[in-house]
Amino acid sequence: MEENFLWGGAVAANQCEGAWDIDGKGISTMDCFTGGSVKQQREYTEGVVKGRYYPNHEAIEFYYRYKEDIKLFAEMGFKAFRLSIAWSRIFPKGDEQQANEKGLQYYDDVFDECLKYGIEPVVTISHYETPYHLVEKYGSWLNRSMIDFFEKYCETIFKRYKAKVKYWMTFNEINTMIEYPWFGSGIKSCDEQQKYNAIHNMLVASAKAVKIGHSINRDFKIGAMIFYPMTYPNTCNPVDNLKAMKDMDSHYYFSDIQIRGYYSNKARKFLNQKNIVLNMAPDDLSVLKEGTVDYLGFSYYMSNVASNQNDLQMTSGNLMNTIKNPFLRETDWGWQIDPIGLRISLNQLYDRYQIPLFIVENGIGAIDQLEDNGEVHDQYRIDYLKEHIEQIKLAVEDDGVDLIGYTMWGCIDIISAGTGEMKKRYGFIYVDKDDAGKGTLMRYRKDSFYWYKRVIETNGTMI
């Protein structure tokens, strides 16, 4: 890989920090998601309800333990660490004029700790963590005022951290808005007209953020970020291929606009056919054109299958269920493991956009066993990551894809976003905590910790 390839790991504030109401932080949407499981969806409550269990409230207390954790990342040799800033630590309600200094100082300290070890922070500006007050008072992104609030938030953090952070991305998996607007932005319910206007507001806000960021530091690299559900047709039947194409078009809708800077022919046709009218301000289209991103970040865990039939066997996946693929193994949570699919995804995205790509999430959620001697033998995680990194190398070295870096998802065990579980572990580092919130929160290096250290040391040659 390139000498400056950004090997690292990724987390999100709401899934690791805890300290949900400390040092001035306001309630965020994710603070209102109860614990759940594969069988029982997380409940999004009206605010924080006394007596309910919210796993994100304590999470793994990264807020207090970040020095210990970043030291462990440095021991692995991380070049980059992807994390998010909790918007409601900076603006507790989201519509204030004055930022919360304790929140700003916290991230100053975290970035300083990263830079002490030569680790590049890669910052997600909004990772499912909308200030809950903005939902209650304005209806979140249904309201165009959010563009101004987001702009204020971005300008504040860009100015504050302009000498410490170079890599940014605006919205985590913005295409989550298709199926889960409450997850992506806290919107409790909306029809298609409202949903695609909320998405339009987010896209305009993202473009404005890019423009502001580049005016504050022209060296900033600001990316878009989608989850990439690369999809195969179930058969060579043309109708299955058409379905696979259409399914992917619904996701390209987001990255097309953020990378190309305009609503494509397909996007406009889609909106027309749904009778969706966007409430545009006069300069929205020029803002989208001027605020195109510098790179595309994406998450990849598994691949999907599309068919015109609807009586086929299904399995679960990241943010969406899919048809079972008989050629693929599944994780304990039913996600289909497809390393070659990652090479295909890299080719599809690079062929389409010809801009640098960044894998900002990839990993396997599994049930890990902490042995009495403090070891965790997670050979299945080494195998998963090894198989995917092999394909990444082929995409770069054989197919010529321009890839900035790879931040493995959940580099330390954290709260699962989809299920709220701790037992769905991703990390190179085991955290002693269970689904009921019990545990010492002590950290333990897994076998994969030492394996990844060698991968980074050899820049991907020894995997």
Give the active site residues: 173, 361
Question: Tokens at residue 451, please?
Answer: 């394996």
Nearer to ligand BGP, 263 or 409 (CB): 409
CA 184 – CA 194 distance, rounded (Å):
14
Nearer to ligand BGP, 66 or 263 (CB): 66
Nearer to ligand BGP, 364 or 404 (CB): 364
Decide: 375 and 447 in contact? Cβ < 8 Å.
yes
Decide: 303 and 328 in contact? Cβ < 8 Å.
yes
- Residue 355 has what DSSP assignment? S
Residue that is written with structure tokens 């409230």 in the block: 57
Decide: 239 and 157 in contact? Cβ < 8 Å.
no
Shortest Å, Cβ 436 to ligand BGP: 18
Nearer to ligand BGP, 120 or 129 (CB): 129
Measured between its terminal Cα atoms, the distance across the chain in Å is: 12
CA 384 – CA 339 distance, rounded (Å):
8
Shortest Å, Cβ 10 to ligand BGP: 8
Nearer to ligand BGP, 141 or 263 (CB): 141
Question: Tokens at residue 284, please?
Answer: 């929205």
Task: For residue 176, give the 3-state DSSP assignment.
Answer: helix
Closest CA relative to residue 42, chosen from 448, 418, 435:
418
Nearer to ligand BGP, 12 or 323 (CB): 12
The residues that touch ligand BGP, with contacts defined as CB under 6 A, are 12, 15, 172-173, 227, 299, 318-319, 361, 365, 409, 416-419, 424
**Looking at this protein, which amino acid is placed at residue 117?**
Y
Burial class (CB in 10 A: 0-12, 13-18, 19+), 272: exposed
Question: Tokens at residue 14, please?
Answer: 């709401």
Question: Tokens at residue 223, please?
Answer: 């990316």
Give how far Cα 22 sits from Cα of 65, 127, 193, 304, 398, Å.
Answer: 14, 19, 37, 40, 49
CA 397 – CA 400 distance, rounded (Å):
6
Shortest Å, Cβ 378 to ligand BGP: 16
Burial class (CB in 10 A: 0-12, 13-18, 19+), 463: middle
How many angstroms from the chain centroid is the CA of residue 374?
Answer: 30
Nearer to ligand BGP, 200 or 425 (CB): 425
Residue facing ligand BGP at closest CB distance: 418
- Crossing angle for the helix pair 101-116 and 62-76, to the nearest 10 degrees: 20
Shortest Å, Cβ 64 to ligand BGP: 21
